[in-house]
Structure 1
């Protein structure tokens, strides 16, 4: 573990939250991953939020959300998944969204918890995870009972929405590419969404523009389309985590928050999962798009209110 606070990037309108450390840790296969810890702004720490990003995201994208938690007396520990943000990339084309094995992402999270979160932050630990990060968290949930007190999964990546091809055909095609040694191939064209009007992620122009400016000024942070291997591994993981036998092994109290106007993940699947999930319950925020923590205030505040109510109550920090 090596620390270097200068690893965090600041852009206009997106300042780095104060009182932090950042550095690198070595994950499975020797991959070097970037992490950061942000301490609470209160004298009494209520615990730590382990914040997990989705695909094509980075620590910088969550500064605003990190500030929300630190003002409420919580520490935040987060990292860039392998192959994205400033963590080590996995293909010759650094903007290819790739993963070789889903269990590599599970290893990233496990090693982060063991080497960074447990020794360096404050109990109790609550996990807040978005999209792909929520899929990884859900896949590991049966093993997290003795480490994580509560889990919030935002727009968990459990079923595709509005794809052009049937999921079964996508699964077959991507598996075939991998069998032919072509798992690294992109599954689409690199269409960087510069136009707010065409985006399906958020209805908030200011936050959309802020994130686009970040990636335009620092293209080393962003990704292009996912590889066939990435898609194949995610589809297999989706199938596993939604099985009843998997869900019944989860003891961590879990809140699933879906976006009612999500064009990436099927909101009905999140609601149905909540109905079959002994340790969890679901909330759907009507009208919201996929990136709930990057959404317009009326949607974002609803998501944060649900999170704040679910995470253990204030024990001395400001509210």
Structure 2
């Protein structure tokens, strides 16, 4: 497994922990953007596959997530998360000024990455969205009207057909296992509306990939968002039977091969 380097910077709402994995002779940079309640450490195998393909891979633990500071899973404005991702991307561009930059966002990270692309798309060579929260999210729709957030743990069987993935998620102390915070739900709703209203990603090459059997972030809901933001260069792939975390699915090698093939097709 590729060696991971942890580092820290002053984020918009406190100290942010970031990670970097690097190839010896890289030809592109990938910024990874993780999902709600988790942390970037869960993507070490994704980073390893990308590094073996010649990438410098980096990304933050979002505010209130993983090793970063802040009340757990509290996000009051998704644009603050975008700003922290932008800090990591800026540092990567400074360290590797001649290398093209690709962003890969999963789930809520797909929402963050899409918003980043809307604001800073001229800095990106390509965008990859894995099971992204776009359009509308039935979880937000259900929680938004409630005064109290139900303390119901995620059904880990929705993550992957591999039961070991759910067990590792449950046993991970850096994963949040408590209820949503109401300000976070409101922030996600605002961000979804903001991204929908902003619209097209223009000519940015974009790869949208989703598990066809994802019941945590439903493809039919995401479809409404993809139709709002799609530009002139969209590639799509649905994986039959796959659930939410396609990078942790039983066919994850196929998924990662599709990502690297897409990157190669865009950058070469």
TM-score interval w.r.t. the shorter chain? 0.7 to 0.9
Q: How far apart, in 2, do the equivalents of 1:18 and 1:210 lie?
A: 20
- Does residue 228 of structure 1 match 2:182? yes
1:60 aligned partner: 41
Mark the runs of 5 or more structure 1 residues left unpaired by the alignment: 1-16, 91-95, 178-184
Does the residue aligned with 1:312 lie in a helix, a strand or coil?
Answer: helix
1:263 aligned partner: 215
1:7 aligned partner: none
1:32 aligned partner: 15
- Identify the match of residue 161 of structure 2 among 203, 207, 226: 203
Q: How far apart, in 2, do the equivalents of 1:73 and 1:284 lie?
A: 26
So what's the TM-score if we normalise by structure 1? 0.74
- Does residue 311 of structure 1 match 2:263? yes
Note the 1:1-319 alignment, pairs <5 A: 17-29=1-13, 31-40=14-23, 43-90=24-71, 96-114=72-90, 116-121=91-96, 123-158=99-134, 159-161=136-138, 163=139, 167=141, 170-171=143-144, 173=145, 177=147, 187-189=149-151, 191=153, 199-213=157-171, 215=172, 219-243=173-197, 246-275=198-227, 277-279=230-232, 280-297=234-251, 300-313=252-265
Contact 1:259/1:288, CA 8 A, preserved across alignment: yes
> CA offset at residue 153 of structure 1?
0.6
Contact 2:38/2:174, CA 8 A, preserved across alignment: no
Contact 2:213/2:241, CA 8 A, preserved across alignment: yes
Does the residue aligned with 1:100 lie in a helix, a strand or coil?
Answer: coil
Residue-by-residue CA offset, 1:26-58 (whole Å, 9 max, x unaligned): 0114x1000111111xx5312111011001111
> CA offset at residue 146 of structure 1?
2.4
Q: How far apart, in 1, do the equivalents of 2:66 and 2:96 lie?
A: 22
Q: How far apart, in 2, do the equivalents of 1:301 and 1:314 lie?
A: 20
> CA offset at residue 112 of structure 1?
2.1
Q: How far apart, in 2, do the equivalents of 1:44 and 1:302 lie?
A: 25
So what's the TM-score if we normalise by structure 2? 0.87
Contact 1:138/1:241, CA 8 A, preserved across alignment: yes
For the pair shown, which has the larger CA radius of gyration, 1 or 2?
A: 1
> CA offset at residue 292 of structure 1?
0.9
Q: How far apart, in 1, do the equivalents of 2:205 and 2:2 lie?
A: 30
Does the residue aligned with 1:33 lie in a helix, a strand or coil?
Answer: strand
> CA offset at residue 295 of structure 1?
1.1
